[in-house]
């Protein structure tokens, strides 16, 4: 005796999978990312940073998802001199939709504890749907 339960189960699972894929293909997912790792390892005066908070919200993630717009970002730089922990700096960054930003600390030398924060590189986020009228540029080093 065959039961129709397994067929119903397969149809329900297929419908759920289609619904999940449709949600992923939504056209209003316009996030950006902040990354505290160096994109280019060659420059000897740049160092990774730890992103501590964005707009006053603490984070522990290496890649932080953010909404587009002007964001206040607090980072901790590398240790240096006699300190075992790096100093903190706050920067403002006008975040564009669907863009990944690589933030780095720039120091005059290895022993210095003073640093400035800069965007070393930015690139489009794959799988992100930009809002209407926005055209992301290709990956490019950021000059300052």
Higher local confidence (pLDDT), 135 or 45? 45
- Residue pLDDT, tens place only, 43-71: 888 999 999 999 999 998 889 999 999 99
Q: Classify residue 48: in a domain, yes or no.
A: yes
Please report whether residue 74 resides in a domain: yes
pLDDT band at 118 (very low <50, low <70, confident <90, very high): very high
Q: Are 45 and 106 in contact (CB under 8 A)?
A: yes
Decide if 5 is inside a domain.
Answer: no
CB 98 within 8 A of CB 123: no
Considering the domain boundaries, does residue 80 fall inside one?
A: yes
Summary mean pLDDT of the chain:
79
Q: Are strands 46-47 and 99-106 parallel, antiparallel or unpaired?
A: antiparallel
Q: Please give the full DSSP string across 41-93, using - where no structure is assigned.
A: S--TTEE--EEEEETTEE---SEEEE-SEEEEEEEE----TT-SS--EEEEEE
Among the listed residues 101, 50, 29, the one whose alpha carbon sits nearest the alpha carbon of residue 71: 101
In a domain, 114, yes or no: yes
Give the separation between CA 116 and CA 109, rounded to whole angstroms: 12
**86 assigned to some structural domain:** yes
Q: How many domains is the chain built from?
A: 1
Predicted local distance difference test score (pLDDT) of residue 133: 67
Range of the domain at 73: 30-141
> Has residue 103 got a pLDDT over 80?
yes
Closest to 115 measured CA to CA, from 103, 132, 131, 127: 103
Global pTM reads 0.71
In a domain, 3, yes or no: no
Say what the pLDDT of residue 126 is: 86
11 belongs to a structural domain: no
């Amino acid at each position: 005796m065959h039961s129709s339960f397994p067929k119903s189960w397969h149809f329900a699972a297929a419908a759920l999978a289609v619904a999940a894929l449709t949600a992923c293909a939504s056209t209003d997912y316009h996030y950006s990312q902040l990354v505290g790792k160096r994109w280019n390892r060659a420059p000897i005066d740049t160092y990774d940073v730890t992103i501590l908070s964005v707009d006053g919200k603490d984070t522990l993630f290496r890649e932080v998802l953010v909404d587009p717009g002007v964001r206040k970002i607090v980072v901790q730089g590398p240790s240096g001199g006699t300190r075992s922990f790096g100093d903190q700096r706050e920067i403002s960054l006008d975040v564009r939709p669907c863009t990944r930003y690589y933030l780095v600390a720039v120091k005059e030398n290895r022993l210095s504890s003073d640093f400035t924060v800069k965007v070393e590189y930015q690139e489009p986020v794959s799988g992100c749907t930009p809002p209407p009228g926005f055209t992301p540029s290709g990956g490019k080093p950021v000059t300052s």
